[in-house]
Structure 1
Amino acid sequence: MGNRSSIISPRLLPTIHQNPYAYTGGRWLNRDELERTSRYIQFDFSALCDRAVHACPGAHRVVKHEKREGGFNRVFLLTMDNSACVVARLSTPIAGPPRLTTNSEVATMTYLQSKVSLPIPKVLDWSDDSSNPVGAEYIIQEHVKGVQLHQLWPTMNSEQHMLCTKALSLAMKKMAALDFPAYGSLYFSDAPIDTRAKIPLEQGFCIGPHCSPIFWNRNPGETELYGGPSPDCGPWRGLESYCRGLIETGFSRLPKEEAIFDELPHQGSIRDHIYLLNTSQEMMQRLVEDKRVQDAAAPTLLHPDFHMRNIFMSPEDPTIITGLIDWQSTSVEPAFIYANETPDFAALPEESSGVSSHCEERDRKDASICYQTYDVCMKGLVPKLRPARLLDPTFFRLFHYCHTTWRDSAPAVRQELIELSARWNELGLQGLCPYSPSDEEVKSHATDYEDFETVQKLKAWLKSSLHTNSDGWVPNDVWGAAKDAHRAAYDEWMQTARESEAQGDGLTVEKANKMWPFDAR
């Protein structure tokens, strides 16, 4: 690692607590070492600062740096000796395929800036070739002005919430109005992709392979578990080929050896998953023949994570958008993939289990207004999304889950197949349903699905009580307390299992231990 002090003040060189290469933003209650090592980036921090200085006319050195961590990126807020401030971002190895992830993100931002008036930060310098002097792919972009919406939201009144929701819905309208010839990810025309995997868009741009880590098996531990990427990452000119890509991806995510993956009782064998994937393919082939599904499948590009933490607003007027960040893994999808997702700023509140206070009632009413505003905008102002939002979501759930059957376990996708089969005629689908489960299969599934739901409830309980996410991530400053609380929760769960086993109720200690979602105990 070079330390060229000419471009960064010696007193600001990274300390062990600011380690730019390792993930230091928190710990995980599950697979902690794997999660952290999967986010290690080997690069030259001084060379990155050098590129940032060159991107700021009149600057000579970095005088202040602040490291920020994301699940898929390492971010540095760099301040120069002329007060200029830029953001330098590096993708972690789990963010997606090398070169394609960076090229696609920059191309997407550049394309959108040329087409719509949205406050997308300007890219000042970038490289998708890790053989550059920095030693890693990077993007250097403008520092967005304003305040993240999640910080402003609690201080805003009901009218501001509604107007903010409307403004953000109109931003989505602008994105969704753009037309594309295929499904996949955007790239520059000279991206390092086989020519056969490029579909021309406009001068300088093309549609290429989908760069989501799901299609490339890039999440922590997946390289060892599954091997290489899906044999079909796109691009796809039509809905039928898109569906084949999902199924091929599902097959690519099945482990190669059965014996070493006996963890969850309801996981299902590799043979079970092969059967589910083949059945899903038959069902989707019939679904894509339905004109209602075809009408809801227009190639559509929207921000992949359109939530408060990626939205910056003016502190003087929180209804004015000042920045939209984190365009990584943006893709062109069938409209129905986006249609029924609701951003957190428009989400309905959870139902209260008891008597509500005046403030809770007010917050629920406020959230309901935001949801209605968002729903009206999506149905009335975004023609591509309207057909899907008006259809029963049962039409589309298989498209969301079929390619992740192994990760989510067999009951998750089998439940969708059984429900679709049961409602086939009710939904107005033509002909005989290609899947008709036997009574024995339905009965066996009911037991497995109960176990699946138990695990989901455990995760939800732990997320709430330990203030973590579904992966068990917690900030460093509460790591010790979270481990202790987690251990107490585990002990309580196992005591419940011991009592159940003693009474012959079906939940054994061995089964309960396997069902526990985190391992830091």
Structure 2
Amino acid sequence: MRERHMQFKVSAVQKVIAKHVGHGNVKRIVKHSEGGFNRVLLATMEDGFKAIVKIPYWISVPRTYATASEVATLTFLRSKGFPVPKVYGWSSTTENTVGVEYTIMEHAPGVGTPDEDRDSETYCIGPIADYMFWYGERTKLDLDRGPWSDPRQYLLAIANKEIKWTEKFGKPLECDFPYNTVFPGVNSHRDYLELLKKYLAIAPYLLPKDTGDILNRPTLRHPDLTPSNVFVCPDTFDVTCIIDWQHTVVTPLRLAAGYPRLFENPSSEPPTGLDPPKYPDGYDTMSLKDKAQVDELIRRQSPFYLYRVFNGGLNKVHLKAPQDPLILARQHLVDCAGRQWSGNLMTLRGAVMRIRAIWSHIPWKDENPECPIEFSEQEIGDQMENEPTWDSLNTLVDYWRDELGGLSEEGWIRTE
């Protein structure tokens, strides 16, 4: 709790709100919510106007950049007509009258699109605001945080930051619960370093060398598009606001593309066409329990179907990227290579092995037709034997998080 204890001057907060919002003095200010990285306050002005104040916790990194990056992202998106909150005022330093960083923004959005384009003068990219480039002791390490002119440099930087951290702070660890009940014993961080080095050997071939490739283009995407971050009008169901853009990053489209959690495919099988979800034959004669299961599946399939239909009409390039048969293996590997050492060798090892197994299908391997990494038959056999059990434990953990009301990895749970 110490990391989330924020001491600030309430009277100073009220003054800066009144200054930036311009609706008289603050009549009432209350805690609105607690997020993973911010405390959110709701201020009501004398005339009834409402505004939001976000105050980042001490654990929110990178300091200064996290606040400044989110403000720049919101301002840029708003200038393009996206329904995001208007920023009234902000400070990315604690050297102010409040004593903490803060962002004052609109409580209810209304977006207009300007005619002129001043992007080149107003916005820039970098250094990266990705939380894992600044988490913990990484903020003190000399890391390559970009910006990068070649997307493949970004792939290398992801693993190099973990190599530097693991070399300095890594130590032998056992897996977290419940994995340690099935896979007991301590794993060496040096084995993790070897896996990261194998990743570095194949990373240059995960994306095309041509920086002009359309699926290589830099893409800005919301980091956590879940129902709690999308607000709609209860009467028209129009999207009125998309919030929580903190730690947004720009990545190549091949890494950014895919289905947000709000629109994920509920089936393990990829779609073969654009057919709408259908009720199965015999639905009318099913039991109430079976009908309820079918209804829930249809409910989850419908957003997935509509997401694909609208992307096909309005965003063909994005829909093209998920059609790449290697996209999931590539994205999973890059995600695993950026994770902190926690005693888990299974996930990264499996991701690296899968790329090696499909090496003949990698389209940009011409410079190196032979895969530059090797695993022994014993290593491959052990992975194939143990990984299904590991995946079953993942499913079990996800099940119990859902049963506990949607418990997040950080331990947050909805009040309702």
Q: Mark yes or no: TM-score above 0.5.
A: yes
The residue type paired with residue 5 of structure 2 is: Y
> Which residue in 2 is equivalent to 1:91?
56
Relative to structure 1, is the Cα distance of residues 212 and 443 closer, same or farther in structure 2, using a 3 angstrom cutoff?
A: same
Of 244, 261, 264, which aligns to 1:347?
Answer: 264
Code of the residue aligned with 2:243 in structure 1: it is: I
Find the aligned partners of 2:358 and 2:293 in 1 and give their Cα distance.
Answer: 37
Residue 244 of structure 1 aligns with an amino acid whose one-letter code is: L
The answer for the alignment partner of 1:423 in structure 2 is 358
Pair 1:105 & 2:70 matched: yes
Q: In the aligned structure 2, how far is the partner of 1:97 from the partner of 1:322?
A: 29
User: 2:274 — aligned with what?
Assistant: none
Cα distance per residue 1:332-366 (max 9 Å; x no partner): 1111222123331x233368xx9753343233224
Q: Which amino acid aligns with 1:326?
A: D
What is the one-letter code of the residue matched to 2:228?
Answer: R
Q: Distance in 2 between matches of 1:232 and 1:306?
A: 28
Match of 1:71 among 36, 39, 44: 36
Aligned with residue 132 of structure 1, among 79, 91, 96: 96
Deviates more, 1:462-471 or 1:100-109: 462-471
CA distance in 1, matches of 2:125, 2:267: 39
Equivalent-residue separation in structure 2 for 1:279 and 1:378 (angstroms): 36
Deviation at 1:382, TM superposition (A): 2.1
> Which amino acid in 2 is paired with 1:439?
E
Structure 1 gap ranges (5+): 1-35, 147-170, 180-199, 479-521
The one of 268, 273, 277 equivalent to 2:192 is 273
The 5-angstrom pairing of residues 320-399 of structure 1 reads 320-344=238-262, 346-349=263-266, 357-392=290-325, 393=327, 394-399=329-334
Deviation of 1:275 after TM superposition, in Å, equals: 0.9
Q: CA deviation at 1:58?
A: 4.3
The answer on whether the counterparts of 1:253 and 1:404 sit within 8 Å (CA) in structure 2 is no
Alignment partner for residue 298 of structure 1, among 193, 202, 217? 217
Asked if the contact 1:69–1:75 (Cα under 8 Å) also holds between the matched residues in 2, the reply is: yes
User: What is the Cα-based RMSD across aligned positions, in Å?
Assistant: 3.3
Q: Post-superposition shift, 1:417? A: 1.4
SS at match of 1:43: coil
Higher RCO structure (Cα 8 Å, ≥6 apart): 1
For 2:72 and 2:97, locate their aligned partners in 1 and report how far apart those are by CA, in whole Å: 22
The code of the aligned residue for 1:140 comes to I
1:62 paired with 2:62, answer: no
Kept in 2, the 8 Å contact 1:405–1:413? The answer is no
- Tell whether 2:229 aligns with 1:310: yes
8 Å Cα contact 1:76-1:89 kept in structure 2: yes
Q: 1:396 is paired with a residue of what secondary structure?
A: helix
In the alignment, structure 1 residue 471 sits paired with structure 2 residue 404: no
In structure 2, give the amino acid aligned to 1:343.
R
CA–CA distance in structure 2, aligned partners of residues 311 and 56 of structure 1: 23
**Aligned-pair distance for 1:81?**
2.2
Q: Distance in 2 between matches of 1:451 and 1:66?
A: 43
SS of the equivalent of 1:312 reads: strand
State the shift of 1:103 in Å: 0.9
2:341 pairs with 383, 406, 421, which one?
A: 406
Partner of 1:237: 149
Kept in 1, the 8 Å contact 2:173–2:187? The answer is no
Distance 1:129 1:202, change over 3 A: same
3-state SS of 1:86 partner: strand
Distance 1:128 1:403, change over 3 A: same
The answer as to 2:14 corresponding to 1:46 is no
Q: 1:269 to 1:121 in 2, by over 3 A?
A: same
SS of the equivalent of 1:203 reads helix
Alignment-derived partner of residue 394 in structure 2 = 456
Work out the number of aligned pairs and report it.
Answer: 383
Contact 1:247 1:402 in 2 (8 A): yes
Shift in Å at residue 64 of structure 1? 4.4
The verdict on how the C-alpha distance between 1:316 and 1:288 changes in structure 2, with shifts beyond 3 A counting, is: closer
> Are the aligned partners of 2:172 and 2:186 in contact in 1 as well (CA < 8 Å)?
no
Aligned-partner Cα distance in 1 for 2:26–2:405: 40
Task: Tell me the CA shift for residue 48 of structure 1.
Answer: 1.0
Q: 2:164 maps to which residue?
A: 252
Cα distance in 1 between the residues matched to 2:94 and 2:119: 27
Large movers: runs of 4+ above 6 Å: 290-293
Give the Cα separation in 2 of the matches to 1:277 and 1:327: 29
How far apart are 1:120 and its partner, in Å? Answer: 1.6
Alignment of 1:99-178 (within 5 A): 99-114=64-79, 116-144=80-108
| 2:2 aligned partner, one-letter code | T
Aligned residue type for 1:340 = G
Read off the aligned partner of 1:333 and give its amino acid letter.
T
CA distance in 2, matches of 1:293, 1:422: 28
1: CA distance between counterparts of 2:388 and 2:212? 31
2 CA distance for matches of 1:329 and 1:211?
Answer: 5
State the distance in 2 between where 1:251 and 1:259 align: 13
Partner secondary structure for residue 333 of structure 1: strand
Q: How far did 1:256 drift?
A: 3.2
Distance 1:58 1:294 in 2: 49
SS in 2 for 1:62: strand
How far apart in 1 are the matches of 2:212 and 2:395?
32
Please give the per-residue CA displacement for 1:275-330, whole angstroms capped at 9, x wherever unaligned.
Answer: 11111011111223477995422101122222211111111111x11111111112
User: Does the aligned pair in 1 maintain the 2:85–2:242 contact within 8 Å?
Assistant: yes
2:201 corresponds to which residue? 282
> What are the superposed Cα offsets for residues 225-271 of structure 1, whole Å, 9 maximum, x if unpaired?
x6734611111111121112112122134163555634554774221
